[in-house]
Amino acid sequence: MTCSSFLRNLSGILITFSLWTAPSLVAQTPRPEVPAPLSVPRPGPTNEAPYAPQPIVQGGIVIPLYPPDSPQLDARRVREAEHYNLSKSVAGRISWITNIHNPSIEVHTVEGGLNTGAAVILAAGGGHRTLNVGSESADFVPFFHQYGVSTVILRNRLRADGYDVRTNAVNDALQAIRLVRAHAQRWNIDPKRIGIMGFSAGAELSAAAAVFYPEFDRARTGGPWNDISSRPDFTVLVYPGPSPFARGARPEIPKDVPPAFIVCPGSGDRGHAIWALEYYDAMLRAGVPNIEMHLYGHGRHPGEVLPDGSRMAAGLADRNGIPFGQWQARFIDWFRDCGFLQKPGLETRAARESAALAAPAAKPPAK
């Protein structure tokens, strides 16, 4: 082999080697790291003052339900910070909250051109162990905004933290209604279009608020807002827990009890469906107007295991396209039909018909 042919072969080997090794050299070049998520919600600091709840959705106005010295609060624990459980797959999303000792509301208003004046207070579920504010509160802020409805996220106290549902959590819901009504003018909310939507354990609060608000108002435990009614203008029960009519109970139904929208899976969530039916039956027998219920043939309670190994979703989830996944559209139909989505300031049909039911019966003319 001549020297020139050897050099030609050697150059070919070197070129081939460089082509093989170039990708590995490129792969070893450091690449920029993905930045960490920004504005991840965190509990607020603790000090000698009652804990200051932080917004869980950007732009929220957070107000404690009670004055700092209120006897409704547990003075031994009111300074403790809330505990946030963040989603493992969605950065910055709070799935649920516990350790709530200074209950509060978080208000999200809507653009003036969209505003109907209606406001929905959201009471999340969680079996009174957790408050599932991700799927059953935060997700509804943009949903209701498109319909011109303000949203209010309720952070009520939990049985798991040592509180009684009837005397603490239900009172928190009623105080929330009263507080929103007290600030209605400032937030461009119609004081006659304030209602509460509860999910599972939260629906125990929305059902009780509709029935027990006269008792709460008479007790005058709301501090500077005692003269403001806690009556909800509408109530919504979504796959509800036990209502005031469960287990054969027969509490007195107020004459002006608000209209209700009730939704639940049927035989796939039989216990909650029975509780839904008990509330509907009591209202129907009392002749309450604008009571609507949807029981779906296909569906289970949120969190329950499905045949494919996944779990039933909560809140606004599509649920793989089954009819139960569109319950929110049926709610909007009912809400509009009752008059809550018309221009603010106008009397709703629901208010008119509730007032007619509450009006004393006319005496027959004397003969």
Find the range with the poorest average confidence among 16-25, 50-59, 182-191, 237-246: 16-25
Q: Does 47 fall in a domain?
A: no
Q: Does 24 fall in a domain?
A: no
pLDDT, tens digit (0-9, with 9 covering 90-100), for 73-87? 999 999 999 999 999
Q: Does 48 fall in a domain?
A: no
Residue 158 has pLDDT above 60, yes or no: yes
Q: Does 163 fall in a domain?
A: yes
Output the pTM of the full model. Answer: 0.89
CA dihedral 254, 257, 263, 267 (to 10 degrees): 20
Helix (H) or strand (E) holding 265: strand 260-265
Residue 114 has pLDDT above 90, yes or no: yes
| DSSP H helical ranges for the chain | 3-27, 133, 140-145, 170-182, 201-219, 270-285, 327-337, 349-358
Rounded to whole angstroms, the Cα distance separating 262 from 123 reads: 14
Residue 306 has pLDDT above 80, yes or no: yes
The domain in which residue 208 lies consists of 61-348
Q: Does 50 fall in a domain?
A: no
CATH number at residue 324: 3.40.50.1820
pLDDT, tens digit (0-9, with 9 covering 90-100), for 50-74? 999 999 999 999 999 999 999 999 9
Length reported for the chain: 367
Q: Does 42 fall in a domain?
A: no
User: How many Cβ atoms sit within 10 Å of the Cβ of residue 303?
Assistant: 14
| DSSP per-residue string spanning 33-68 | PPPPPSS---PPP--SSPP-PPPSSTT-EEEESS-T
Inter-CA distances, 284 with 209, 232, 278, Å? 18, 18, 10
Higher pLDDT, 201 or 344: 201
Instruction: Tell me the pLDDT band of 48, cut-offs 50, 70 and 90.
Output: confident
Q: Does 39 fall in a domain?
A: no
For residue 344, what are its two tokens? 């603010």
Domain count along the chain: 1
Q: Does 216 fall in a domain?
A: yes
